[in-house]
Structures are given as structure tokens and as C-alpha cells.
């Protein structure tokens, strides 16, 4: 883990400290995915957040929003000081992202299974309006249990949406247990190929590999792209890694924050 990834995780801890609660493991598996998207891939400008030609990013697994908030604040969509206000009365930042309330958020998410459908609408609109905008939709592996995801996948391939990119945060651990025990997704890559997507797989914490993959979209002409990112739930906090009890924490105190920061320093 390099200093930038450690820095972004400390921003996530800032938000956890401010709100005294939040989805820990679900956010930390996303850090490198969102980092690479916003550092290297997305054509966006925080000074012109409504530019019609911008790329769109949708965090369909909205419960992982603490990392999204950290990256958006780091990029200047809103002040870093807002992170410490997360989930407080009257705060901008809530437990799930809200379009029209949080600058840089393209869709209100949290109820799982809808982000890909929204992304399809945005991708179709861009094509009809002859814009070069691309749409990136980040989904959780547990979210793929939702039938609406697969209905959307059929629609995306039917319309040959090569300006649509799905990313799966495949940390293999959903809210109450391993994905393979709850509802096994394998063979996951072959499933997406069967639904008409061009598919690649990558280490979701390898910044260089993520950047190389995402710079090559679309993976195939005339097809939507799907990048399976193999990640670790809770990445960066040894106590939280591969630990379903850290999916969400309802009470985070000063000692918890101290231990999280110390653990991150030692990583």
C-alpha cells in the first residue's frame, strides 16, 4: 500500500470518526478502484460538475460511499471538513449518497441492484445526443444477487453500449457471510460473457493493473465492458479484513478510531 492509498483510507476514518458509524469493510475494499477512476480515467472537472460532456460514475453499492466521499472531497467537489460531519444532523453527507445533495454524486443509491439500469439510461442518452460521455457503474458482489442487475445486463448488451463500463467489487464477503455460501456467483466471468459483456479480471488493489485495464475500454467494439476487481473486504485494517462483522459498525468510539489509525500506519 502506497502513501496515497493510506491517505485516502485515513480520510475514510475521518468520516467514520465524525459519524461514529458506517460501512467499514464495504468502503475499504473500494479505495483503489475509486482512486484510479478519479485520478486517471474519468473525464470530470469539479469546477464544472454539470458539464454535459463529463463522464458519469455511479456507485451502485451505495453503502460503500465513505470512500466515494473521501475521493470526491480530495478532488475538490466539496471541502474535506465535510467528512467529519458525516451523518450528523443537517450534514451534507449521509449514510448513502444522494444526488442533488452531494456534489459529484450522479445517482442516489443504497437500495441495491439499480445502478446498472441507471447507467444504461445515461449511456443511451449520451449516444442519442452524440456525446462522448462514458458511464462507469460500480457494483458489489452481494448486489449481484439482485435479479434487476441481470435484466439490465441483457438490455446493455442488446443496445451494444460500448460507452458503458461495469466494475464489480468482488471482495467475496457480503453482509452476513461469504458470497460462495450465501449465493455462489461462480463462474462469474463466464456469466457476464453469456450476457453479452466483454470481460476482464484484475487485482482490485493493484493501482497499475487497474489503470492499465481501464485505459483500454471498451474491451471489445460493440459490447459493454465488465471489469471484475478481486478485492479484500476491509483492506488496510487487519482486524476488518475478511471479517463480516466489520461490514457495518453502528458504534465507533475514540478508542476504535485510535486502533484503526494505528493499524493503518503499521500496514
**How many residues does the structure list for the chain?**
267
54 near 126, Cβ under 8 Å? Answer: no
Q: Which is it for strands 173-174 and 177-178: parallel, antiparallel or unpaired?
A: antiparallel
What number is the average pLDDT over the span 41-60?
Answer: 97
Q: Answer yes or no: is pLDDT of 4 > 90.
A: yes
Average pLDDT, the chain: 96
Condensed to tens digits (0 to 9), the pLDDT of residues 89-135 reads: 999 999 999 999 999 999 999 999 999 999 999 999 999 999 999 99
Rounded Cα gap, residues 17 and 237, in angstroms: 15
Cis peptide before 227 (omega within 30 of 0): no
Q: Answer yes or no: is pLDDT of 267 > 90.
A: no
Condensed to tens digits (0 to 9), the pLDDT of residues 189-226 reads: 999 999 999 999 999 999 999 999 999 999 999 999 99
What number is the average pLDDT over the span 69-87?
Answer: 97
Q: Which three cell numbers stand for residue 53?
A: 460532456
Query: Measuring CA to CA, how many Å separate 146 from each of 153, 180, 187?
Result: 12, 15, 17
In this structure, which topology does domain 3-265 adopt according to CATH?
Rossmann fold (3.40.50)
- In this prediction, residue 266 carries a pLDDT of 84
Condensed to tens digits (0 to 9), the pLDDT of residues 161-173 reads: 999 999 999 999 9
- In this prediction, residue 107 carries a pLDDT of 97
Q: How far apart are the first and last CA of the chain?
A: 8
Kindly report the CA angle at 265 between 261 and 267, in degrees rounded to 5? 115
> What is residue 62's DSSP assignment?
G
- In this prediction, residue 239 carries a pLDDT of 87
What number is the average pLDDT over the span 176-188?
Answer: 96
User: According to the 3-state scheme, what is the secondary structure of 105-172?
Assistant: CCCCCCCCCCHHHHHHHHHHHHHHCCCCCCEEEEEECHHHHCHHHHHHHHHHHHCCCCCEEEEEEECC
- In this prediction, residue 66 carries a pLDDT of 97
- In this prediction, residue 68 carries a pLDDT of 98
Q: Answer yes or no: is pLDDT of 232 > 90.
A: yes
> What is residue 139's DSSP assignment?
E
pTM of the model: 0.97
Amino acid at each position: 500500500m502506497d502513501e496515497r492509498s493510506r491517505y485516502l483510507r485515513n480520510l475514510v476514518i475521518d468520516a467514520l470518526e465524525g459519524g461514529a458509524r458506517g460501512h467499514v469493510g464495504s468502503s475499504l475494499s473500494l479505495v483503489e478502484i475509486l482512486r484510479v477512476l478519479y485520478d486517471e480515467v474519468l473525464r470530470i472537472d469539479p469546477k464544472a460538475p454539470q458539464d454535459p460532456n463529463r463522464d458519469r460514475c455511479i456507485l451502485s453499492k451505495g453503502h460503500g460511499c465513505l470512500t466515494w466521499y473521501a475521493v470526491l472531497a480530495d478532488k475538490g467537489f466539496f471541502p474535506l471538513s465535510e467528512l467529519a460531519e458525516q451523518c450528523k444532523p443537517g450534514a451534507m453527507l449521509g449514510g448513502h449518497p444522494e444526488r442533488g445533495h452531494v456534489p459529484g454524486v450522479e445517482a442516489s443509491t443504497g437500495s441495491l441492484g439499480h445502478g446498472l439500469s441507471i447507467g444504461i439510461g445515461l449511456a443511451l442518452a449520451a449516444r442519442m445526443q452524440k456525446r462522448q460521455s462514458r458511464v462507469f457503474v460500480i457494483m458489489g458482489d452481494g448486489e449481484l444477487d439482485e435479479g434487476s442487475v441481470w435484466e439490465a445486463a441483457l438490455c446493455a448488451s442488446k443496445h451494444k453500449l460500448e460507452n458503458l463500463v461495469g466494475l464489480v467489487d468482488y471482495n467475496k464477503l457480503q453482509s452476513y457471510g461469504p458470497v460462495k455460501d450465501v449465493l455462489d456467483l461462480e463462474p462469474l466471468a463466464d456469466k457476464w460473457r453469456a450476457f453479452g459483456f466483454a470481460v476482464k479480471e484484475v487485482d482490485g488493489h493493484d493501482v497499475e493493473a487497474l489503470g492499465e485495464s481501464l485505459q483500454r475500454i471498451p474491451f471489445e467494439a460493440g459490447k459493454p465492458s465488465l471489469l471484475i476487481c478481486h478485492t479484500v473486504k476491509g483492506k488496510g485494517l487487519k482486524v476488518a479484513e475478511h471479517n463480516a462483522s466489520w461490514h457495518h459498525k453502528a458504534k465507533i468510539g475514540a478508542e476504535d478510531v485510535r486502533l484503526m489509525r494505528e493499524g493503518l500506519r503499521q500496514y
